[in-house]
A and B are shown apart, each in its own frame.
Chain A
C-alpha cells in the first residue's frame, strides 16, 4: 500500500519494493472473468463456511482444489501473487519450530533431533486453511471488474431489504469506496514522499529518548491529521459531484444478473460443500 520507507540498498539492482497489487483485474480475459460477480462472492463465502465448520485435511483439499481450478481457468500468472513481507515468513517459521518441538505424537527423529509430526500437521493445516481462503479472495479480486461488484451486492442483499435496512445507500457507498481507493492510495503515497523529503534536524536537549519519542508522536499526529483533512477535502469534491448528478439515488443492478453458467457453478459448489460437510 505505502512504499517502504527510506530503504537504501547497497546491491546494484534495487530490490523490488512491495507495491500495491490489490484490486487489480488480470488483463487477460477468461471464463472466470465472465462469471457474475455475485457467484464468485458466494463461492468464497461457501468455502469459508465449509473450512470453518470442518477444518480437516479432506475439506482443505476440496477447497484448495476448487481454488486451484479457478486459478488455472483464470490463467493467473505467477507474478500476480503478492509478495508477503518478511516478518510474516519469520512468524511462520517460528510457528513451525515451536510446533515441531511440541512433543505431540507421532514423533520422528531427524539427525538426532526429535520432531513432532502431529504438531507440525496441526500447524500446517491451520496455516494452509488461511492461505487457501486468502487465495480465494484474491482470485475474486483478480477476475472481477470492479464496476460489477456494487450491482452484484445490490442483488445479493435483497433479503436485507425485506427487513428495511438501507441497502441502496450501502450499495452506492461500496461503489464510491471502490472508485475512491486509488485516489486515496495516491494521496497516501504523496504524503509519505513529502514526509521523507522534509528534513528533520532535531536539536536534542535533555533526554534524547524522550525528545525522539516526542518527535515521533508529533509526526504521527501530523501525518494522520493531514491525511484525514486532505481526504475530507476530497469528500467535499465528491459530495459536489454527487449533488451535480442529482444526489444519491438507488441505482439498481439490472445490468448484472446471474446466467446459466452461474447456476451451474453455484449448483456444483453447493453439492460439493454439502458432501464435504456431511461425509
Chain B
C-alpha cells in the first residue's frame, strides 16, 4: 500500500517568514500583506478607542466554521485565554481598582469567540471555573462566568462589526434575563441567606446615615433612608434593576476596552487556519511512516516565498540522520513534511500513513522545552492521550534518565530535563520515526549532550529512524548521515565545525569607580511560606562603566533572578544593590533589560512605534536607534512587530533600550535559538556598542562558547552562589567578599 501526497498549491496557510513551524492546524499566523490595516499605526495621536470606531473591522471573515469535537488549536487557544482571564480576575480581586481589570478580563474570553466557535468558549469557561474554584472558591467562579458571558457578546459583536449601541442593546437582551432570573430565583430559594444579606445592607446604611447626621450631612441621610428601605423591602425588583444597569455599563466598558485590543490581536495573528487535510488522510490509513522517500519536494507558504525547492531524500529505519542548516533554510518545514504535512510540490512516498502521534507512527520533539509539556506531573505527561495501563512509564523514564523525577511537577524541571521528557512522551507511542526539530537549541550544554546521546541510542534500540534537525554542525558528528540545507535546497554537507574555545575574557583597564555594586545580595522567593525557594546567596559584584560581564549558569542557577535584580525590577531580600551609589530599585529604567522572550518586550504594533514608546523619544531618535542595531529604518520602522523574525525582535528590543540611553544593559539569554551567523552578528553589534558608547554589558547565558571580545569578565553561578570569577583578584571584590 502506498500513500502518495500530491501537489496541493495554496491549500495551506501558515506562519511568518522563516519560522514555518505551525503545521498542526494551530491558528496563530502572520498574514503578511493582508495585515496592513487602514489606519497606519505610525501616526500616534488617535487614541485606540477612537481608532476602533473609525476603522472598519476586518475580522468578520475570520474563524472558519467547524463542527463536532474541538480541534487542537481551538482547545489550546481556549485554554490559554481562559487562564489569562483567570489571572486578570484574580488580580482584580486583589486590587481595589478591580473593575478596570474585570473589564480587561473580558478581552481574552472575547478573543476566543472572535476566533473560534462558542463550543471553545464553553470549554475555556469550564476550565477557568474549575481552576478558579481551586484557587479561591465560589467568589471567583461568579466573576469568571460573568466575564465569559460578556466576552461572548463582545466577541460576537466584534465579528459582526457592531457599534457600541447595538452591542449594548443586544447584549442586554441576551444576558440580562437569565442573569436576573438566576439571581432572583437563587435569593428566593435561599431565604435565610437573603435575609442576612438584606439585614447587613440595612444595618450598614443605618450606621452610615447616623454618622452622616453626626457630621451635619443630615440631608443626604434623609434622602437615602427611604431609598434603602424600599430597595431592601422590594429586593425582587431592586436586584433585576441593578443588574440591568450593571449589565449595560459592563457591556459598554468591555466593548470600549476590548474592541481595539481585539483588532490588534487579529492584525497580529490573522485568522485561524482552515482545516488541515492531514487528519482525514490519517484516519483511514494505518500508520507506517518509514522508509519515507521525498522526491522533488517543494513548499511554499501562501503569499510567501518558496522555503523548500527540489528536495529529494530517503530515510530508512534504524538510521540517525542529521539535517543541518542556518535559520530560515527550510529545515523545520522539511521536518514537518517528514511527519505528515503535505508539500506544495513533489511527492512523498511512505508504506502507510505518517500517523503523527499515533502508535507505531511518527513523533516530533520541538524547540521550546516548556511549550510542549502537557502533563502536570512527569508521569502524566508521558501517558498524555494514551491509556495509562498500556504504557511502561517507569521503563520509558529510565530510558530517558528521568526515573527519579516521575512524580515531580513538570513546572519544576530544567530545560534539558523537559526535552528528555518530550522524547520520553514520544517513545511512549513506540514511534517508527522520531524527528527532533531543533530540540537542542534552547538547552544548556550538559542538557544538550545528554539529549544527543539519547537520540543516538534510539535507532539502535529498535527499527526506529531518527532525524535530528539542528543548526549546530558539531551535533552532526555522531549521525549516520548528514543532510545539509541552505535557502531551501540540498547542499553538500559542510566540513567539520570550527572548534570553539570557551570564552576568554579580554583584559579590562581598571581604575574607574564602580558603576554597579552588589553587596551580599541574596534573594528568596515566597519567603516565610512553606514554598520558600532560595534563588541567590551572598553575591558580591563590582562592575565598572564600560565593562562586559558574562554570567554563566545552568537553568535554575539563579541567573535570571540576578538579571532582574541588576535591572532594578526585583528588590533583593538580602543585601544591597546599587547603581552609582543609589539603590537599584529606585533607578528602574537606567539599566536596560532585554528579556529572553523578546516578543514580550515589544508592546506597540510596529517596530518604530515600539522603540519610540520604549524610550520616550521621538520618531527620528527611534529611527536612528533602529539604524544603530543594524535595521534599516526605512524598512523596519513601519514593520509590524509580529512579522519580525526572532533575531529581528531581539534587535528591535535592543534598539528600544539603547534609545533610552541606559548606563548599562542586562541581556537574558540573548543568543538562545539563534544560529551561528545570527549569533555572530548580534555579538558584533554588542561589542561595538561597548567600545563606541562605553555601555556596561551584562550577558546572562548558559552558553560558555561565546565568541571572544564580547566580555572581559566571566562569573559562574551554581545554585545561586558565585562559584567562579575570572576577575577574583580585584581589590574591590576581595573587600566585598570579606
Residues on A facing B (Cβ under 8 Å):
1-2, 6, 8-9, 14, 16-28, 41, 44, 48, 52-56, 77, 79-80, 85, 87, 95, 97-104, 116, 118-119, 122-123, 125-126, 130, 133-134, 136-138, 140-141, 144-147, 149-150, 153, 166, 169-170, 172-185, 187-188, 190-191, 193-202, 214, 217-218, 220-249, 251-252, 254-255
Q: Is the CB of B127 within 8 A of A177?
A: yes
Bound form: Cα–Cα A92–B56 in Å: 47
* Cβ proximity bits B361-400 to A, threshold 8 Å, 1 near / 0 not: 1011110101111111101100111111100000000000
Measured between beta carbons, the chain B residues less than 8 angstroms from A198 are 589, 603, 613-616, 656, 660
Q: Tell me the residues in window 87-129 of chain B with beta carbons closer than 8 Å to chain A beta carbons.
A: 87, 90-91, 94-96, 100, 104, 107-108, 111, 119, 122-124, 126-128
In the complex, the 4 A-B pairs of residues with the closest C-beta atoms, listed nearest first: A246-B357, A201-B616, A137-B137, A98-B207
Measured between beta carbons, the chain B residues less than 8 angstroms from A237 are 26, 366, 368, 371-372
A-B contacts, 27 listed (Cβ < 8 Å): A2-B91, A8-B586, A48-B138, A54-B192, A56-B192, A95-B204, A102-B204, A122-B203, A149-B130, A149-B134, A169-B123, A173-B75, A175-B375, A184-B83, A188-B87, A197-B592, A224-B257, A231-B84, A235-B76, A236-B22, A237-B368, A240-B23, A241-B374, A243-B357, A244-B363, A248-B71, A251-B388
Least CB distance from A69 to B in Å reads 18
Least CB distance from A256 to B in Å reads 10
Contact of A8 among B90, B377, B585 (CB under 8 A): B585
Measured between beta carbons, the chain A residues less than 8 angstroms from B384 are 245, 251
Least CB distance from B71 to A in Å reads 8
The CB with the most chain B CB atoms within 10 A, among A22, A144, A194, is that of: A194
Bound form: Cα–Cα A1–B90 in Å: 7
Q: Is the CB of B73 within 8 A of A239?
A: yes
Contact of A200 among B193, B361, B532, B616 (CB under 8 A): B616
Q: How large is the interface on B (under 10, 10 to 19, 20 to 34, 35 or more residues)?
A: 35 or more
A180-B79, A235-B73 given as contacts; is B199 within 8 A of A122 (CB)?
A: yes
Measured between beta carbons, the chain A residues less than 8 angstroms from B130 are 149, 153, 174, 177
Whether a CB of chain A sits under 8 angstroms from the CB of B230 is: no
Task: Name B138's closest neighbour in chain A (CB-CB).
Answer: A48
Bound form: Cα–Cα A6–B586 in Å: 8
Measured between beta carbons, the chain B residues less than 8 angstroms from A235 are 26-28, 73, 76-77, 79-81
Task: Name A28's closest neighbour in chain B (CB-CB).
Answer: B530
Whether a CB of chain A sits under 8 angstroms from the CB of B454 is: no
Q: Is the CB of B84 within 8 A of A228?
A: yes
The CB with the most chain B CB atoms within 10 A, among A53, A140, A175, A252, is that of: A175
Q: Is the CB of B127 within 8 A of A1?
A: no
Q: Tell me the residues in window 246-270 of chain B with beta carbons closer than 8 Å to chain A beta carbons.
A: 257, 260-261, 264-265, 268-269
Whether a CB of chain A sits under 8 angstroms from the CB of B528 is: yes
Besides the known contacts A147-B379, A179-B411, A220-B104, 6 further A-B residue pairs in the complex with CB atoms under 8 A apart:
A56-B192, A174-B130, A176-B79, A197-B588, A238-B374, A249-B385
Q: Tell me the residues in window 14-63 of chain B with beta carbons closer than 8 Å to chain A beta carbons.
A: 21-28, 47-49
Contact of A26 among B134, B530, B613 (CB under 8 A): B530
Q: Is the CB of B48 within 8 A of A236?
A: no
Residues on B facing A (Cβ under 8 Å):
21-28, 47-49, 69-73, 75-84, 86-87, 90-91, 94-96, 100, 104, 107-108, 111, 119, 122-124, 126-128, 130-131, 133-139, 190, 192-193, 196-197, 199-200, 202-208, 210-211, 257, 260-261, 264-265, 268-269, 279, 339, 356-358, 361, 363-366, 368, 370-377, 379-380, 383-389, 409-411, 425-426, 429, 525-532, 564, 567-571, 573, 585-586, 588-589, 591-593, 595, 597, 599-605, 613-617, 642, 656, 660
Bound form: Cα–Cα A52–B142 in Å: 15
Task: Name A77's closest neighbour in chain B (CB-CB).
Answer: B530
Bound form: Cα–Cα A139–B363 in Å: 40
Q: Is the CB of A202 within 8 A of B616?
A: yes
Least CB distance from B729 to A in Å reads 32
Least CB distance from B523 to A in Å reads 10
Task: Name B610's closest neighbour in chain A (CB-CB).
Answer: A222
Q: Is the CB of B269 within 8 A of A229?
A: yes
Task: Name A157's closest neighbour in chain B (CB-CB).
Answer: B126
Least CB distance from B197 to A in Å reads 7
Measured between beta carbons, the chain B residues less than 8 angstroms from A169 are 69-70, 75, 123
Least CB distance from B139 to A in Å reads 7
The CB with the most chain B CB atoms within 10 A, among A19, A56, A103, A245, is that of: A245
Bound form: Cα–Cα A116–B211 in Å: 14
Measured between beta carbons, the chain B residues less than 8 angstroms from A183 are 370, 411
The CB with the most chain A CB atoms within 10 A, among B204, B388, B660, is that of: B204
Measured between beta carbons, the chain A residues less than 8 angstroms from B202 are 102
Task: Name B383's closest neighbour in chain A (CB-CB).
Answer: A251
Measured between beta carbons, the chain B residues less than 8 angstroms from A103 are 206-207, 210
Measured between beta carbons, the chain B residues less than 8 angstroms from A240 are 21-24, 26, 366, 371-372
Measured between beta carbons, the chain A residues less than 8 angstroms from B22 are 236, 239-240
Q: Is the CB of A194 within 8 A of B26?
A: no
Measured between beta carbons, the chain A residues less than 8 angstroms from B365 are 244
Measured between beta carbons, the chain A residues less than 8 angstroms from B429 are 245-246
Least CB distance from B437 to A in Å reads 10
Measured between beta carbons, the chain A residues less than 8 angstroms from B601 are 194
Measured between beta carbons, the chain A residues less than 8 angstroms from B358 are 246
Task: Name A13's closest neighbour in chain B (CB-CB).
Answer: B573
Measured between beta carbons, the chain B residues less than 8 angstroms from A41 are 133
Contact of B371 among A54, A104, A238 (CB under 8 A): A238
Least CB distance from B663 to A in Å reads 13
A16-B528, A194-B595 given as contacts; is B80 within 8 A of A234 (CB)?
A: yes
